[in-house]
Amino acid sequence: MTIIKGSRYIPLYGRDSTVVEVKDFEMDIYPVTNSEYLEFLKKYPKWRKSQVISLFSDKSYLANYTSDLEIQPTLKPNNAATYISWYAAKAYCECQGKRLPTVDEWEYVAMADETTKDARIKPEYNAKILSWYEAPRTNENVIGLTPKNVWGVYDLHGLVWEWTLDFNSVLITGESRKNVDKDNNLFCGSAALNAIDLMNYAAFMRYAIRVSLKAKYYMKNLGFRCVKDVQK
């Protein structure tokens, strides 16, 4: 893990205020890998594909496993773990004494490039991320191939999407909570109404994918990493 020094910043979407404060925390340098998740399954059988309850996963949870404790031969131990629901990712982090990052924490770290903590003003930063989104996805998901950012964190872009703790609540403001149906109205079209910077399409894509998910969903290119609060 690496220490992330908190600060105040303006996220893509305003909520009750436009400025968000992020406190110091630690973040995993890499996404959770197949080998790490396999060790979790060995220790906590209730999260194996044959035993997990339907409330916590769709039927294709761990679809890349040939059995409870065997990954498909084409997948490498050092690949990012995918086909994992939010419930399972949350449980994994908590069993490590950690937690999933909030959207604000994830976006705060992800707005950095190799040299700058807030690279969003750089046209080449957003263009590079968009080019990754447009590239054909493979099943490799090998961690650590992209350059680390200024915090020392790898693979926030260009590898897999990642779960966040509050993935499906980022677009609800204090004024709109009583008027918004979470399941029906928080998709790409209505999301645009709250955007501060509509030209930040790279970030917009992340917010759009998050609000289209439910906690029991999985995706072949959706993984996660953990964070931990800094003890004072």
More confident residue, 217 or 151: 151
pLDDT for position 190 = 32
pLDDT level of residue 223 (50, 70, 90 thresholds): very high
- Tell me, what amino acid is at 153? V
DSSP E strands: which ranges in 86-229?
161-162, 222-223, 227-229
Per-domain residue ranges for the chain?
2-31+97-229
The 10 Å Cβ neighbour count of residue 39 is: 12
- 181 Cβ contact list (under 8 Å, min separation 6): none
pLDDT level of residue 13 (50, 70, 90 thresholds): low
For the entire predicted model, the pTM comes to: 0.83
Average pLDDT in the chain: 82
Q: What percentage of the chain carries pLDDT values higher than 70?
A: 78
More confident residue, 134 or 149: 149
Q: Is 230 helix (H, G, I), strand (E, B) or coil?
A: coil
pLDDT tens digit string along 17-53?
A: 578 899 999 999 999 999 999 999 999 999 999 999 9
- 127-156 mean pLDDT: 83
pLDDT for position 132 = 79
- 100-106 mean pLDDT: 94
Q: If 0-12 CB within 10 Å is exposed, 13-18 middle and 19+ buried, where does residue 225 land?
A: buried
pLDDT tens digit string along 125-139?
A: 888 887 777 766 665
pLDDT tens digit string along 162-209?
A: 999 988 765 544 333 333 333 333 333 333 334 444 446 667 667 667
